[in-house]
A and B are shown apart, each in its own frame.
Chain A
C-alpha cells in the first residue's frame, strides 16, 4: 500500500537569502556571550588604555594628562619598589614551584602505594579558599606564639633570633613565596603528570639497557622529554606571579613598610584608596606590558615549534 504523503516542496531559496539566514542564525548563537563580553570586558579594556593618559578622580571632570602619568612612574618610589618586589617574587616563586611540582609529578607517576591519596592531598591546597588558608598560615607562623617558631625553639634556636615571618620586613617576602609555592604546586604537578603520560616508555627501557640509573634517566630522558611542558608551566606561572595580589593582601597587606608591595597592590591603592584612576591605569599598563612580553615569547616559540 504505497500512499505517498503530499510532499510540500520547500520554497527555493536564493543563495543571497540563504547566506543572510545563515548569518542571522550564527549571530544569534554568538550574541548572548559576545554582547556580555564586549560590554564588560572589551569596553573596559579599551577604556583602560585611554584612562592611562587622563587625570581623573572618578567624580570630577576627566582631563587629558598626556604623558604625565607615564613620567610619574620614574619619580614614584613606591611604584619602583612594587615593580622590583613583583620581579623578585616572580623570580623566586617560578623556579621553586617548578622544581617542587616536577619532583612530585615524577614520584607520583611511578607505582607507589597510595598514589591517588597523595595526588589528592598535594592538589587540595590549590582549591582551598585563600582567606581560610592564609589566616591559618599566619597563625602557624605567628612570630611570638605560632607553633612553627615554638618548634624552632624546641629544637634549640635562640628565642631572640627567631624569624619574624610576615611581621618582619626581611622575612615577609619569604613567607609569601613559601605560601604561594605550597598553595599552587599541586596544580602544576597535575600538568606535569599529564606531560609525563606523553613520554615514550621505550626511552626508559633503552636508557636502562645502556646502564643508566634513575638519576641519569631523570636527567637525560625525563627532563628533555618534558621541555615543552616545562616551558608551558613557566609561562603560566610567570603570568600568575605578575598578577599576585590575594595572598599578599591576606598575609602581609603589602608590608611591613613596602617590603611585599606588588604591582597589583599599587594599582589597587592608587585606584580605590587614592582615587587616582589615571595613574592607576598607567601602572596597570605596565602590568599589561610585562604579561605581553611573556605572551609574545610563548607565541613565537609555539609558532617556531
Chain B
C-alpha cells in the first residue's frame, strides 16, 4: 500500500489504527467534558454532539465559584497535599537512612514492622483507625488525614531501597572528615537521592490529591472538604446543572494536569523502577 508516495506495510497501518482508536477513547471523555462545560445545561445532551459550542457559555466558569466554595476546596486539598508530602519525604528519608546505613538494636524487628504492613490494605483497618481518631477528637480535622497519610511503610521502603544503592564508603569517608550522622543525611544522602525523592513526591501528591474514601469518612463539614468530596457534594446538590458540573470538573482536573505534565518523566521512571505503589 502507498501513502503519500511512500510504501507502508499494512501491519504499520494496523498499529496506528489501534493507537489512534485507543487515544481517542482515552481522550473523548475529557474533550466532551470540556465542551459540555461551555454549554447551557439543556444543551449538554443535544445530539449529534456539538464539540465546539457556537456560543460558549463562559459564564459557567464564573458561576461555579459562587455556587460552591470551590476555591476553599482547592485550598484545603493543596494544604493537605503539601503538608502530607513534606512530612512523608522528611520522615521517610530520615528513617530510611538509619535502616540503610546505621547499625542498631532491633533494626530487623522494626523494619519487619514496616514490611509486614506494606501489603495490608488500608480498608482493612480504616474502621478502628477512625474510631481511634474520634477518641483523639480528630474527626472533622485535617490533622487526622495528615496523620494517616504521612507515615507510610511505602515511603520508608522506597527510600531505603535507594539509600542501599549508595556505597557505604561515602558515609565512612564523611565520618572520617568529622561529619556527624545528621550532617551526612542532610549534606550527602538527601542531595544524592533526588530521583527517589521525586518519585515519592509524585506518588504522595497524586494519592493525597485524589484520595476519596479517607476525606469522605473523616470530613463532614463543608468548610473542611477536599476537592474530591467537595465536587461530589456539588454534583449531589446541582444534579441537573450539567454545564456547571462539567465546568467544576474541568477546574479540578487542571492542577493534576499541570503537575503531571511538568513531572511526567519522574512519574514514569518512578513507576518503572519501583512499580510498588498499591
Residues of A that sit less than 8 Å from B by CB: 22-23, 25-27, 29-30, 32-34, 36-45, 47-48, 51, 58, 103-104, 107-108, 110, 112-113, 117-125, 127-133, 135-137, 139-140, 142, 145-147, 150, 154, 182, 186-187, 190-191, 193-194, 197, 214, 232, 236, 239-240, 242-243, 245-246, 249-250, 264, 267-268, 271-272, 277, 280-281, 284-285, 287-288, 291-292, 295
Using A42-B117, A236-B275 as known contacts, say yes or no to A29 and B95 having CB atoms under 8 A apart. yes
Instruction: Give chain B interface residues in 107-122, CB to chain A under 8 Å.
Output: 107, 110, 113-114, 117, 119-121
Contact A281 B235 (CB under 8 A): no
In the docked arrangement, what's the CA distance between A59 and B47, Å?
53
Contact B275 A194 (CB under 8 A): yes
Return chain B residues, CB-CB under 8 Å to A245.
Answer: 123, 213
Return chain A residues, CB-CB under 8 Å to B102.
Answer: 22, 25-26, 29
**B124 lies within 8 A of chain A by Cβ:** yes
Using A118-B23, A120-B264, A139-B36 as known contacts, say yes or no to A103 and B18 having CB atoms under 8 A apart. yes
Cβ of A104 to closest chain B Cβ, rounded Å: 7
Contact B210 A30 (CB under 8 A): no
Q: Which 7 A-B pairs have the closest CB atoms?
A: A36-B151, A194-B272, A26-B104, A29-B98, A132-B249, A47-B128, A33-B91
Return chain B residues, CB-CB under 8 Å to A186.
Answer: 26
**B103 lies within 8 A of chain A by Cβ:** yes
Contact B271 A47 (CB under 8 A): no
Q: Could you write out 21 A-B pairs with CB less than 8 Å apart? A: A27-B98, A33-B92, A33-B94, A41-B129, A45-B120, A47-B129, A48-B125, A112-B16, A123-B267, A125-B29, A127-B260, A128-B253, A131-B228, A136-B29, A140-B28, A154-B47, A194-B272, A243-B123, A272-B217, A281-B127, A291-B119
In the docked arrangement, what's the CA distance between A268 and B217, Å?
9
Contact B124 A107 (CB under 8 A): no
In the docked arrangement, what's the CA distance between A249 and B213, Å?
9
Residues of B that sit less than 8 Å from A by CB: 11, 15-16, 18-19, 22-23, 25-30, 32-33, 36, 44-45, 47-49, 90-92, 94-95, 97-99, 102-105, 107, 110, 113-114, 117, 119-121, 123-132, 134, 147-148, 150-153, 155-156, 180-181, 185, 206, 209-210, 212-213, 217, 227-229, 231-232, 235, 242, 245-246, 249-250, 252-253, 256-257, 260-261, 264, 267-268, 271-273, 275, 278
**Total cross-chain contacts (CB, 8 A):** 266
In the docked arrangement, what's the CA distance between A122 and B271, Å?
15
Quick one: which of A37, A103, A127 contacts B114, CB cutoff 8 A? Answer: A37
In the docked arrangement, what's the CA distance between A110 and B11, Å?
13
Task: Across the interface, name the chain B residue whose C-beta is closest to A31.
Answer: B95
Give the interface SS of chain B, mostly helix, strand, loop or mixed: helix
In the docked arrangement, what's the CA distance between A47 and B126, Å?
10
Contact B127 A277 (CB under 8 A): yes
Return chain B residues, CB-CB under 8 Å to A121.
Answer: 23, 26-27
Contact B260 A284 (CB under 8 A): no
Using A29-B185, A136-B29 as known contacts, say yes or no to A190 and B123 having CB atoms under 8 A apart. no
Quick one: which of A33, A147, A284 contacts B32, CB cutoff 8 A? Answer: A147
In the docked arrangement, what's the CA distance between A131 and B210, Å?
9
In the docked arrangement, what's the CA distance between A285 and B120, Å?
11
Return chain A residues, CB-CB under 8 Å to B156.
Answer: 33, 37
Contact A135 B235 (CB under 8 A): yes
Cβ of B113 to closest chain A Cβ, rounded Å: 6
Using A131-B231, A150-B47, A214-B11 as known contacts, say yes or no to A30 and B275 having CB atoms under 8 A apart. no
In the docked arrangement, what's the CA distance between A269 and B271, Å?
33
Return chain A residues, CB-CB under 8 Å to B36.
Answer: 136, 139
Contact A130 B210 (CB under 8 A): yes
Return chain A residues, CB-CB under 8 Å to B48.
Answer: 150, 154
Task: Across the interface, name the chain B residue whose C-beta is closest to A277.
Answer: B127
Return chain B residues, CB-CB under 8 Å to A107.
Answer: 15, 18-19
- Of A34, A41, A277, A280, most buried by chain B (CB within 10 Å of CB) is A41
Quick one: which of A120, A139, A277 contacts B131, CB cutoff 8 A? Answer: A277
Contact B125 A47 (CB under 8 A): yes
Return chain A residues, CB-CB under 8 Å to B18.
Answer: 103, 107
Quick one: which of A110, A124, A284 contacts B124, CB cutoff 8 A? Answer: A284
Return chain A residues, CB-CB under 8 Å to B242.
Answer: 139
Using A34-B110, A140-B29, A194-B271 as known contacts, say yes or no to A45 and B125 having CB atoms under 8 A apart. yes
Return chain A residues, CB-CB under 8 Å to B232.
Answer: 131, 250
> 6 new A-B pairs (CB below 8 Å) besides A34-B151, A47-B129?
A29-B98, A29-B102, A32-B90, A37-B151, A131-B212, A187-B271
Contact A267 B127 (CB under 8 A): yes
